[in-house]
Amino acid sequence: MSTSSKAKERKKITTLSLRKFKQQQKPITMLTAYDYATAVAVDMAGIDTILVGDSLGMVVLGYENTLPVTMDDMIHHCKAVARGARYAMLIGDMPFMSYQASVDEAVRNAGRFLQEGGMDAVKLEGGRERLPAAGAIISAGIPVMGHLGLTPQSVHQLGGFKAQGKTAQAAKDLLDDALALEDAGCFSLVLETIPARLAQLVSERLEIPTIGIGAGIGCDGQVLVTHDLCGLFDRFTPRFVKKYADLHGEMARAFEAYKSDVQSREFPGDEHSIDMPEEQWQELLKALE
């Protein structure tokens, strides 16, 4: 390999890369993926980290919220993503009730993400109430990303998918949670649907990188749910999403064209069909006489 192609070779992204990006003020990119094909595409685009989010419960499995998602669902999708991505750092989202009931269960379930799912790290939702679980997982050698603000697994407690941290007290609590998670050893935090100036303040007070979703430009990086970005989720699009494609429309167009081709016998054409040698065909016809 030549020196120049060596120089261009991509390196696997790690927790240390993310910390370095923050120090260099280089925005960190993160997207969700739930399957092999998407993981390949996201990785090829050079996105820094892939989150196998429990959002898969809504955008892939069609549930109303993320609560029904199980550990086995997550591991199944993590394995597919791990087969497709080579360079991005892979983060597995711990589903509802996989880390809340006991610290032991939290550590064992986090371990499954690395051992069975091929992930590099896990993410869990919540602030100071999650310190025992987060601390024990980190002590087991598993990198943990925190998640504050709108934490979808607490949707019923929050009274819906609503913006968080909008009062001075709620904002102070969120900052204290963020500092506590950093102290506990989390390598990064997701900040979801909070005021942009609060997200910026938290990002400035922390040494670890923050990744925002609906949290403005002041975060150290950004994440979107890939199905929202691609226009693949039909039910709703949150206000903070920028839609970069209309794959749902594109799929509908392709399916209608296919239906029409089949019905008009345009498909399959000769180029999609298999032939057999003439002499074999003649031999068959003879045998059938």
Catalytic residue annotation: 192
**213, 215, 219, 230: which one binds ligand KIV (CB under 6 A):** 213
Rank residues 69 and 206 by Cβ distance to ligand KIV and give the closer one: 69
Give every CB contact of residue 154 below 8 A, 6+ residues apart in sequence: 125, 126
**21, 31, 49, 54: which one binds ligand KIV (CB under 6 A):** 54
> Is residue 177 at the binding interface for ligand KIV, with CB under 6 A as the rule?
no
Judged by CB under 6 A, the stretch of 46-54, 154-162, 237-245, 247-255 that binds ligand KIV is 46-54
> Is residue 32 at the binding interface for ligand KIV, with CB under 6 A as the rule?
yes
Judged by CB under 6 A, the stretch of 52-60, 231-239, 255-263, 274-282 that binds ligand KIV is 52-60
Q: Which residue has the tokens 């999609």?
A: 272
> What are the CA-CA distances from residue 164 to residues 152, 160, 167, 197, 199 (Å)?
11, 11, 8, 13, 11
| Least distance from ligand KIV to the Cβ atom of residue 59, Å | 8
> Is residue 93 at the binding interface for ligand KIV, with CB under 6 A as the rule?
yes
> Is residue 210 at the binding interface for ligand KIV, with CB under 6 A as the rule?
no
Judged by CB under 6 A, the stretch of 48-56, 126-134, 229-237, 238-246 that binds ligand KIV is 48-56
Please tell me the distance from the alpha carbon of residue 191 to that of residue 199, in angstroms, as a whole number.
Answer: 7
> Is residue 55 at the binding interface for ligand KIV, with CB under 6 A as the rule?
yes
> Is residue 225 at the binding interface for ligand KIV, with CB under 6 A as the rule?
yes
> What are the CA-CA distances from residue 134 to residues 52, 60, 91, 187, 272 (Å)?
18, 27, 15, 11, 54
> What are the CA-CA distances from residue 49 to residues 36, 108, 109, 113 (Å)?
15, 23, 21, 15
**42, 50, 53, 230: which one binds ligand KIV (CB under 6 A):** 53
> Is residue 146 at the binding interface for ligand KIV, with CB under 6 A as the rule?
no
With CB under 6 A as the rule, give the number of residues binding ligand KIV. 11
Is residue 150 within 8 A of residue 122, CB to CB? The reply is no
Please tell me the distance from the alpha carbon of residue 258 to that of residue 125, in angstroms, as a whole number.
Answer: 43
| Residue nearest to ligand KIV as judged by C-beta position | 53
Please tell me the distance from the alpha carbon of residue 132 to that of residue 144, in angstroms, as a whole number.
Answer: 12
> Is residue 51 at the binding interface for ligand KIV, with CB under 6 A as the rule?
yes
Rank residues 48 and 192 by Cβ distance to ligand KIV and give the closer one: 192
DSSP class of 53? -
Is residue 82 within 8 A of residue 118, CB to CB? The reply is yes
> Is residue 58 at the binding interface for ligand KIV, with CB under 6 A as the rule?
no
Ranges of beta strands (E only) in the chain are: 28-32, 49-52, 89-93, 121-123, 144-149, 188-192, 210-213, 221-224
| Least distance from ligand KIV to the Cβ atom of residue 33, Å | 10
**Residues making contact with ligand KIV (CB under 6 A):** 32, 51, 53-55, 93, 190, 192, 213, 223, 225
